[in-house]
Amino acid sequence: NAGVTQTPKFQVLKTGQSMTLQCAQDMNHNSMYWYRQDPGMGLRLIYYSASEGTTDKGEVPNGYNVSRLNKREFSLRLESAAPSQTSVYFCASSEADGLDSGELFFGEGSRLTVL
């Protein structure tokens, strides 16, 4: 059972470089989310997608862009990486359809370091 799969698991970037984090889920979920987790800050929502073709900003969207490519895939792009974006990034998905959340499932995380 794959669940939520994130790639890459580890990445080191230099300031100003760009990269895309990929996320795919095989549970036919409507909603997908990108979070970042930093020590002392907890989990913070970057962007989410309530359904294929829609995306919305979360708490900390600045410096990021997202694409809901299809129902399975939700990617997060850093256009010009900054050291402040050093973090662990988690993708998650749920059946949420506006009336019910369903159960939220997480990927294993992508550890990004920006030098």
Residue ranges in contact with other proteins by CB under 8 A: 31, 33, 42-43, 45, 48, 50, 58, 90, 92, 94, 96, 98-101, 103-109
Whichever of 10 and 14 has its CB closer to other proteins, that residue is 10
Whichever of 92 and 112 has its CB closer to other proteins, that residue is 92
Burial of residue 12, with CB atoms counted within 10 A of its CB: 0-12 exposed, 13-18 middle, 19 or more buried: exposed
Whichever of 5 and 17 has its CB closer to other proteins, that residue is 5
Phi (first) and psi of residue 17, to 5 degrees: -75, 160
Least distance to other proteins from the beta carbon of 94, Å?
8
Measured between alpha carbons, how far is 80 from 77 in angstroms, rounded to an integer? Answer: 9
